[in-house]
Structure 1
Amino acid sequence: MKKLFITVLAAGMTTAAFCQKTFILSHQDKKGFFSVSAGASLPVGRYASCEPADGQACMAGQGFAFNVSTGYRVAGPIGLMIRGEQHRNTVNTSAMLSALYRNDSDVWTAKADNWSVLSVMAGPYISIPMGLFSIDGRLLAGRALAVLPNTAMAGNFGTTEMSVKTTGAQSTALSLGGGLTLRYRLGRSTALNLNADYSRADFTFNNLTSTATNGSIRSESLIYSSNRVVSVVSVSAGVTILFGNSFRPF
């Protein structure tokens, strides 16, 4: 009986301490935040397309996303924020080879650099508190810089050795995005966050060239341009520093 009483008392004290922590933290309003997160970059739409007949298919594969953001509530639950994000995605080299007509006996290999997209966007967000948890929603716009990767294929047609190389390029464009963040308060000024975001930008890459080698014969294309739509979903997790209330900065 005594052990049961002690167990019940300990459970009650633990519950009371958790409730007290929840009450205190939920009433310590923080108007600003600074977050760092990392996770997966998932290409969608034509950015992920591997259709050989689609001249704007980007053939991007899953990759890595890293983001930094900061914001401050200026009117109740509504605030302004700025967010920087880096995406690095591989290129599906198998899809590159599938677009190449060749005989079964021909052996070809393909290689490519990674896609790289860096964006800086700003806009409004709304924060909804729920005890130790909060949900943020945002709509953002800004600029993005993308690097179209260099690609190369080499192999043979019968007894003839051949290769095809395409140069990459950089381009900037308007970037639009939005997302949600689920945040959990660990203490007075720290929290964990889980993010889901979507962003899109339409790029035009200029001064591109393709070079083909057929045995000892080498030919180079005229300079051309290519339009590519880069749309990506990222899922990331990280830490948040909370700051700014009526009594102290942290």
Structure 2
Amino acid sequence: MKKLFVTVLAAGMTTAAFCQKTFILSHQDKKGFFAVSAGASVPVGRFASCSATDDQACMAGNGLAFNVSAGYRIAGPVGLMIRGEQHRNSVNTGAMLDALYRNESDVWTARADNWSILTMMVGPYVSIPVTGRLSVDARLLAGRALAVLPNTSMSGTFGHTEMSLKTTGSQSNAMAYGGGLSLRYRLGRSTALNLNADYSRSDFTFNNLTSIATSANSVSKSSNYSSDRTVGVVSVSAGVSLLFGTKYRPF
């Protein structure tokens, strides 16, 4: 009986020590992170504008966003991070048709590729602890962006004449500016769930654009031209984080 008691006591102490160790490690401050997230991309401003009188209206619709980021605190709650994000946004083809002058009896259809925006930005961030497991990160970033202006086409009839209009897309680079917030919840020693909200903006100039109009047996092609477009997007995403860089570790 005495040996059984000692065995049970030892097992209990071992279990308690393991639980205590796990608890301590799961609450230890981590200085760095690597995160992967995915979610929704929402166009804002002129990027979402569908006005027929706005020659810079991008007519972008909702899409998908995917991002990866990494950061490391270098002075208390303040650190540096790098963040890359990919946006894929549809084009509002209904708005394209609304901007086209045509008779009520005319039947037209429109097609368009997706907008594609890739941003790579760096900048400072601040990590603010809320509870033992919950923290909030705030960031201000700047960098470069690459955008692809989509190809578009419309076809239909004007009276009894069949017509079509095609515009070629292009790609452009520009400066990118943004900022955002992340809510991070610790799951264990080195993992966390994160919920993010970010805004980014870039001013692009797309060059070498052309338009081709076809009517009956005639084809009319424009000369190359340029177009300025402002791309503003808000992304709301969720994902996981890998935490690293413990300053002091007793185990």
- Give 1:112 shift: 0.1
- Give 1:27 shift: 4.4
Alignment partners' CA distance in 2, 1:21 and 1:109: 65
Structural mapping, 1:1-250, within 5 Å: 24=24, 27-130=27-130, 131-247=132-248
- Give 1:25 shift: 5.3
User: Aligned AA for 2:138?
Assistant: G
Aligned to 2:246, the other structure's residue is in SS state: coil
Alignment partners' CA distance in 1, 2:61 and 2:100: 19
Alignment partners' CA distance in 1, 2:60 and 2:235: 14
- Give 1:105 shift: 1.1
User: Unaligned 5+ residue runs, structure 1?
Assistant: 1-19
Q: Is the 8 A contact 1:125 1:137 kept in 2?
A: yes
Percent of aligned positions that are identical = 76
- Give 1:129 shift: 1.1
How many residue pairs were aligned?
231
Normalization by structure 1: what TM-score? 0.89
User: Aligned AA for 1:166?
Assistant: T
Alignment partners' CA distance in 1, 2:54 and 2:138: 34
Instruction: Indicate how the Cα distance of structure 1 residues 21 and 87 shifts in structure 2: closer, same or farther if over 3 A, else same.
Output: farther
User: Aligned AA for 2:170?
Assistant: A
State the 4+ residue runs in structure 1 displaced beyond 4 angstroms. 20-23
Alignment partners' CA distance in 2, 1:149 and 1:40: 19
Q: String of CA shifts for 1:65-102, please: whole Å, max 9, x gaps.
A: 00000000000000000000000000000000000111
Alignment partners' CA distance in 2, 1:202 and 1:41: 18
User: Unaligned 5+ residue runs, structure 2?
Assistant: 1-19
Q: Is the 8 A contact 2:137 2:181 kept in 1?
A: yes
- Give 1:222 shift: 1.0
Q: Is the 8 A contact 1:25 1:132 kept in 2?
A: no
Alignment partners' CA distance in 2, 1:62 and 1:201: 18
Say which one has the larger Rg: 2
- Give 1:158 shift: 1.2
Q: String of CA shifts for 1:1-32, please: whole Å, max 9, x gaps.
A: xxxxxxxxxxxxxxxxxxx7997357411000
